[in-house]
Structures are given as structure tokens and as C-alpha cells.
């Protein structure tokens, strides 16, 4: 039913606010050395993708349709 979206993470502007990790520990882990998030699970639903993107104040998170897009 849902399209799968592939989340991408660009840490260029990342402030390390941890909002992404707090929102989804399934998708994001935390690199203690770099003090930045790391992608763990990048395949999400449309809804999750939009929520994650809206949570990042620095616009680090984006998504594309992915190669595994499922259309029903
Ligand atoms: S929400 Fe955005 S700015 Fe905050 S830690 Fe995650 S990627 Fe970085």
C-alpha cells in the first residue's frame, strides 16, 4: 500500500540537536564521537519520511522514491 521512501542524511548543516533520534530511534542512531546522527534504517513510509523531514530544523533529512518503491 505505502510507497517506500529512502531517507538520506546530509550532515553539512547538522546542529546535533538530536530531534531526529528522538523522533525515530529505528531510523537514526547517534555517533557519540562525532556528536551527530547516523542512518540505521533508511527505508520508511511516506508518512514517516515527511514527519522526519519536518522535524529537522537544519533540513539535513531528505528522501527519494527509492528503487524499491511499491505501487499498488
Ligand atoms: S534533526 Fe537534523 S539538525 Fe538535528 S541532529 Fe538530526 S539531522 Fe542534525
Q: What is the DSSP secondary-structure string of the chain?
A: -PPEEEEEE-GGG-----HHHHH-TTTEEEETTTTEEEES--EEEHHHHHHHHHH-TT--EEEE--TT----
Domains in the chain, CATH or no CATH each: 4-64 (3.30.70.20)
How confident is the model at residue 65, as a pLDDT? 63
Q: Is the CB of 15 under 6 A from ligand 1?
A: yes
pLDDT higher than 80, residue 14: yes
Q: Render pLDDT for 19-68 as a digit per residue (tens, 0 to 9).
A: 999 999 999 999 999 999 999 998 999 999 999 999 999 999 999 865 55
56 lines ligand 1 (CB under 6 A): yes
Residue minimizing CA distance to atom 2 of ligand 1: 56
Which grid coordinates belong to 27? 531510523
**pTM confidence score:** 0.85
Task: Tell me: pLDDT of 72 over 50.
Answer: no
Bridge partner list, 64: 6
Q: How far apart are CA 8 and CA 6, in angstroms?
A: 6
Amino acid at each position: 500500500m505505502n510507497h517506500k521512501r529512502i531517507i538520506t542524511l546530509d550532515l553539512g548543516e547538522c546542529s546535533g540537536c538530536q530531534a531526529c533520534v528522538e523522533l525515530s530511534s529505528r531510523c537514526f542512531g547517534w555517533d557519540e564521537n562525532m556528536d551527530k546522527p547516523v542512518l540505521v534504517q533508511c527505508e520508511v513510509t511516506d508518512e514517516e519520511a515527511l514527519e522526519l523531514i519536518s522535524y529537522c530544523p537544519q533540513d539535513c533529512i531528505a528522501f527519494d522514491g527509492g528503487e524499491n518503491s511499491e505501487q499498488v
